[in-house]
């Protein structure tokens, strides 16, 4: 007897997302099944897998897989896509999801966009984590040259579900992120690897960002990177607590609230639905 799994192909500001809903299905679907799911799906940056909620009052436990098979703690664009799927199935507009980064809230706004609570950022060097101690993580001693053009130096680092390093630049186009990104992602400074972003502050309420995403590579959008950039800019006195972060895929609104929680608001776009036969994908 074949096992069929429905999926939704979506994107969040160009971040390619697949949502697989395993709620209500047999327990113990292990890595072999998940690998089969991954092989049978269209291209994605992240696969969001929904499981039955272990915590009362939550809608699902969400596991997040990068295209290289590694597991991520957070994916803001993916959580907006998950929220869209659950909203379509339930008719509700407010949700709670449990992830590796904790319980996150989300809701559909009156304008049809989706706001996601990304939790509280962490800035301690052990929390990020870093391989060596830094008292001030707004600018750590780390740099890298490229074959041509200026070098990168002294990033801000933070953890918003995932480790992030943000390098402040005057011109995003002056850097070859395809060259620098994989080298910095796996730098010994980051024992769990890191998302690497270039950030150009254009006003106190506007930042442009490009990101090399841990486990996925160059991406048109990374929601947790947008959040890490926004809060790091606030810490450095470069931006206000409500800011628009513009990624190659488009803008996201990031707000670092007085309660220390970071909210990200943006769209989720549905591309198509499909059904995966696990016997054929295996």
Shared domain for 185 and 107, answered yes or no, is no
Q: Which of 47, 222, 231, 239 is catalytic?
A: 222
- Stretch 2-14: mean pLDDT: 85
Shared domain for 214 and 153, answered yes or no, is yes
Q: Which of 5, 20, 74, 75 is catalytic?
A: 75
Dihedral angle, C-alpha 270, 220, 229, 131, nearest 10 °: 110
Shared domain for 150 and 256, answered yes or no, is yes
Shared domain for 11 and 106, answered yes or no, is yes
Shared domain for 106 and 30, answered yes or no, is yes
Shared domain for 26 and 100, answered yes or no, is yes
- How many distinct structural domains can be found in the chain? 2
**Does residue 21 lie within any of the structural domains?**
yes
**Does residue 125 lie within any of the structural domains?**
no
**Does residue 96 lie within any of the structural domains?**
yes
Would the pTM count as exceeding 0.75?
A: yes
Shared domain for 231 and 275, answered yes or no, is no
pLDDT digits (tens, 9 = 90+) for 242-264: 999 999 999 999 999 999 999 99
Residue 68 has pLDDT above 90, yes or no: no
- Stretch 95-120: mean pLDDT: 91
Shared domain for 185 and 158, answered yes or no, is yes
Active site residue 227: no
- Stretch 82-101: mean pLDDT: 91
**Does residue 127 lie within any of the structural domains?**
no
**Does residue 135 lie within any of the structural domains?**
no
Tell me the CATH number at 272: 3.10.310.10
**Does residue 110 lie within any of the structural domains?**
yes
Shared domain for 221 and 273, answered yes or no, is no
- Stretch 20-49: mean pLDDT: 76
| Banded model confidence at residue 30, pLDDT cuts 50, 70, 90 | low
Shared domain for 162 and 70, answered yes or no, is no
Identify the burial level of 153 via C-beta atoms within 10 angstroms of its C-beta, where 0-12 means exposed, 13-18 middle and 19 or more buried: middle
Active site residue 75: yes
pLDDT digits (tens, 9 = 90+) for 112-121: 899 999 999 9
Shared domain for 159 and 208, answered yes or no, is yes
| Banded model confidence at residue 32, pLDDT cuts 50, 70, 90 | low
To the nearest whole number, what is the mean pLDDT of the chain?
Answer: 91
The residue range of the domain holding 208 is 143-260
- Stretch 24-35: mean pLDDT: 65
**Does residue 128 lie within any of the structural domains?**
no
Shared domain for 100 and 157, answered yes or no, is no
**Does residue 138 lie within any of the structural domains?**
no
Residue 278 has pLDDT above 70, yes or no: no
pLDDT of residue 123: 98
pLDDT of residue 26: 65
Tokens 């024992």 belong to residue = 191
pLDDT digits (tens, 9 = 90+) for 174-222: 999 999 999 999 999 999 999 999 999 999 999 999 999 998 899 999 9
- Stretch 48-76: mean pLDDT: 89
């Amino acid at each position: 007897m074949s096992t069929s799994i429905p999926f939704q192909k979506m994107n969040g500001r160009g971040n390619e997302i697949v949502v697989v809903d395993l709620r209500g299905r047999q327990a113990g679907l292990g890595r072999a099944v998940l690998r089969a799911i991954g092989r049978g799906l269209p291209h994605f940056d992240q696969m969001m897998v929904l499981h039955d909620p272990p915590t009362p009052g939550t809608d699902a436990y969400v596991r997040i897989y990068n295209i290289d098979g590694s597991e991520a703690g957070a994916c803001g664009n993916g959580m907006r896509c998950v929220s869209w799927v659950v909203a379509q199935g339930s008719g509700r507009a407010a949700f709670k999801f449990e992830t590796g980064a904790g319980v996150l809230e989300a809701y559909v706004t009156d304008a049809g966009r989706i706001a996601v609570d990304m939790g509280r950022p962490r800035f301690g060097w052990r929390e990020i984590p870093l391989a060596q101690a830094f008292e001030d993580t707004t600018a750590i001693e780390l740099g890298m040259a490229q074959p041509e053009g200026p070098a990168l130096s002294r990033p801000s680092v933070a953890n918003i579900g995932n480790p992030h390093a943000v390098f402040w630049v005057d011109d995003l186009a002056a850097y070859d992120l395809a060259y620098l990104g994989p080298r910095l992602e796996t730098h010994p400074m980051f024992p769990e690897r890191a998302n690497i972003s270039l950030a150009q502050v254009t006003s106190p309420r506007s930042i442009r960002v490009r990101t090399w995403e841990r486990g996925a590579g160059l991406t048109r959008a990374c929601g947790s990177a947008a959040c890490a950039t926004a809060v790091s800019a606030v810490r450095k006195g470069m931006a206000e607590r409500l800011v628009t972060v513009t990624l190659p895929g488009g803008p996201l609104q990031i707000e670092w609230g007085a309660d220390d929680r970071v909210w990200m608001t943006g769209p989720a776009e549905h591309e198509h639905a499909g059904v995966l036969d696990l016997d054929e994908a295996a």
